Structure 1
Amino acid sequence: MNIPNLLTLFRLFLIPCFIFAFFSNSNNCLINSAIIFFTAGFTDILDGYIARKFNEITKYGTVLDPLADKLMLLTVLTCLSIKGYIPILILIIMLAKEFSMIIIGIFLYGKNIVIPANIWGKISTLIFYVAILFFVFDKTFGTYILYLALLGAVIAYINYFLIFLSKYSEKVTK
Structure 2
Amino acid sequence: MKKENIPNLLTLLRIALIPIFILLLSLNKDSLHFWAGLIFVFASLTDYLDGYLARKWQVVTNFGKFADPMADKLLVMSALILLVGLGFAPAWLVSIIICRELAVTGLRLLLVEQGGTVLAAAMPGKIKTFTQMLAIAFLLFHLSLLGQIFLYISLVFTIYSGYDYFKGSAFLFKDTFK
The alignment's TM-score, normalised by the length of structure 1, stands at 0.86
Q: Gaps (5+ residues) in structure 1?
A: 170-174
1:66-110 C-alpha deviation (Å, 9 max, x unpaired): 121111111010000012221101111011101112222222233
Q: Tell me, in whole angstroms, the C-alpha distance in 2 between the residues paired with 1:140 and 1:87.
A: 14
Q: Tell me, in whole angstroms, the C-alpha distance in 2 between the residues paired with 1:61 and 1:164.
A: 23
> Is it true that 1:10 corresponds to 2:13 in the alignment?
yes
Q: Tell me, in whole angstroms, the C-alpha distance in 2 between the residues paired with 1:2 and 1:108.
A: 28
AA aligned opposite 1:130:
L
Q: Gaps (5+ residues) in structure 2?
A: 174-178
Q: Tell me, in whole angstroms, the C-alpha distance in 2 between the residues paired with 1:27 and 1:123.
A: 29
Structure 1 residues 69 and 87: alpha-carbon distance in aligned structure 2, compared to 1, 3 A threshold? same
Q: How does 1:5-84 map to 2 (within 5 A)?
A: 5-24=8-27, 26-84=29-87
> Is it true that 1:123 corresponds to 2:130 in the alignment?
no
Q: Hey, what does 1:104 align to over in structure 2?
A: 107
Kept in 1, the 8 Å contact 2:76–2:133? The answer is no
1:110-130 C-alpha deviation (Å, 9 max, x unpaired): 334201112111111111222
> Is it true that 1:91 corresponds to 2:94 in the alignment?
yes
Kept in 2, the 8 Å contact 1:62–1:116? The answer is no
**C-alpha displacement of 1:23:** 1.8
> Is it true that 1:132 corresponds to 2:136 in the alignment?
yes
Runs of 4+ with >4 A deviation: none
How big is the alpha-carbon RMSD for the aligned residues of Structure 1 and Structure 2?
A: 1.9
Kept in 2, the 8 Å contact 1:67–1:102? The answer is no
1:11-53 C-alpha deviation (Å, 9 max, x unpaired): 1212111101112254422111111111111111110111011
Q: Hey, what does 2:118 align to over in structure 1?
A: 114
3-state DSSP of counterpart to 2:111: helix
> Is it true that 1:157 corresponds to 2:162 in the alignment?
yes
Structure 1 residues 14 and 111: alpha-carbon distance in aligned structure 2, compared to 1, 3 A threshold? farther
